[in-house]
Amino acid sequence: MHILYIFLRRCRRLLFLWAGFLLLLTGLAALELQAARADGEEHLNEEARRIARRSGEILALPAWRMDEVAARSIVMTEMEDERIYGMAVYDLQGLLEGQRRDEQWESVPWDDLVPDAMAEGIYPLQMEGRPVGSVRVYLSPRRLEEHLSALWRREALRVLILSLAATVIAAWVAVRRVREASPRPRAADDPNAAAGETPAGISDSPATERGVPRGRTTSRKNVQAAVPEILPGLAVGDAVRRLGGQTDTYMLLTDLFRRLYAGAPKLLLRLAAREERDSLARLLPPLREAASRLGASRLEASASRLEDAVRARPEAVARCAEECADALEETLASARELRQTAGDCAGESLL
């Protein structure tokens, strides 16, 4: 749960950026496919109109007679084009000649069965300025669908590659951030420690468990001996005893306290100057609780007085906020000194 909290706290923006990038990739791919489909359908309709116009202009030549033989010759010639699903020539009385494709894509006589997906081109026939009929051409979208399928596969592959790259980069950044913010692992949980190696990047690691060669890491006894009983604003010994003698746990709590409340003194003074008592009321309870756990009695008492002032004595808020900020500065300084002491002890033990 603690690692999950750190991950959500440190990597929220990274998650939003990662998700937004994936959505952007998907949206761009969808737009590309939609635009390609629209262009393909427009091109198919234009091609159907062009074939119909070409056939109609041939039939309208003076050298041709507008009869069934001429129409059949034109239709059979055009049907050699595998793109054409069907073609029909009409005169003023009705169908003159026509053919369409069956399921095996063979030419069969025209029967007005045209699927909705076909692209249609119509050209009116005229002779000497008089309308005499029309030519209708229907193109199959099979090749367009094949082209769109190939385009979809390319876009899917591109999106997959870019998504994997973005995921790997985001995971690497997230691991770095979680490692920077998470507490140092115990030796029993660290596979490197079991092999006698110090985890990379940790110079002041807590005491390791048994089975680690001597001289590689600091022993828990040395760290406990190096921790002073009392520091300004911190009753270290009493707090460690309340934790059952777990010095490493206390060190972890002080490290977290330092990171969480590093900017809190200025924040307290700023909120008090702006008379933002609601914000102070939300900030003080967890600060007082943390001070109690660390043995920071002065900070705990000043936080309690500031809480009372926020609730019932607005005129004393500024003064109590200064006292609380001073106590917090003192506690943070002692926490830094405590970490430095433990780090020096770890360095000596490695030597």
pLDDT tens profile 160-188: 898 888 888 888 887 777 777 665 555 44
> pLDDT at position 195, please?
45
168 within domain boundaries: no
Residue 160 belongs to a domain: no
Tell me the pLDDT band of 138, cut-offs 50, 70 and 90: very high
Q: Say whether pLDDT at 202 is over 80.
A: no
pLDDT value of position 223: 55
Identify whether residues 6 and 124 lie together within a single domain.
yes
Residue 199 domain-assigned? Answer: no
CA distance 195 to 210: 11
The answer to whether residues 226 and 308 belong to one domain is yes
Q: Domain check: are 113 and 231 in the same one?
A: no
**What pLDDT is recorded for position 247?**
83
What is the per-residue pLDDT for 87?
92
Q: What is the mean pLDDT of residues 127-148?
A: 85
Write down which residue in 113, 144, 175 finishes a domain: 144
Q: Supply the range of the domain harboring residue 73.
A: 2-144
If asked whether residues 229 and 336 sit together in one domain, one would say yes
- Whether residue 249 sits in one domain with residue 332: yes
DSSP per residue, 22-87: HHHHHHHHHHHHHHHHHHHHHHHHHHHHHHHHHHHHHHTSTTS--SHHHHHHHHHHHTTSTTEEEE
Other C-beta atoms closer than 10 Å to the C-beta of 177 total: 16
Shared domain for 7 and 140, answered yes or no, is yes
* pLDDT exceeds cutoff 50 at 196: no
User: What is the tally of structural domains in the chain?
Assistant: 2
pLDDT of residue 24 exceeding 70: yes
Q: Measured between alpha carbons, how far is 249 from 255 in angstroms, rounded to an integer?
A: 10
pLDDT value at 200 more than 60: no
Whether 319 has a pLDDT exceeding 80, the answer reads yes
Segment 178-201 shows an average pLDDT of 52
Does 187 fall in a domain?
no
In a domain, residue 88? The reply is yes
* Other C-beta atoms lying within 10 Å of the C-beta of residue 165: 11
- Residue 327 in any domain: the answer is yes
Does residue 260 share a domain with residue 135?
no
Comparing 136-150, 167-181, 196-210, the range with the smallest average pLDDT is 196-210
- φ/ψ (deg, to 5) at 7: -60, -45
Asked if residue 130 lies in contact with residue 79, where contact means CB atoms within 8 angstroms, the answer is no
Question: pLDDT-based confidence at 224, cuts 50/70/90?
Answer: low
Same domain, 233 and 343: yes
pTM, two decimals, is 0.42
Is residue 268 situated within a structural domain?
yes
Same domain membership, residue 116 and residue 16: yes
Look at residue 103 in the predicted model and tell me its pLDDT: 86
Residue 188's φ and ψ, nearest 5 degrees, are -65, -25
Q: Is the same domain home to 137 and 16?
A: yes
Note whether 222 and 239 are within 8 A (CB): no
pLDDT band at 314 (very low <50, low <70, confident <90, very high): confident
Whether residue 308 is predicted with pLDDT greater than 60 in this model: the reply is yes
Of 144, 177, 197, the position where a domain reaches its end is: 144
Check pLDDT > 50 for residue 232.
yes
- 198 found inside a domain: no
Residue 111 sits in a domain whose CATH number is 3.30.450.20
101 and 225 both lie in a single domain: no
Q: Which of 144, 169, 185 is the last residue of a domain?
A: 144
pLDDT band at 205 (very low <50, low <70, confident <90, very high): very low
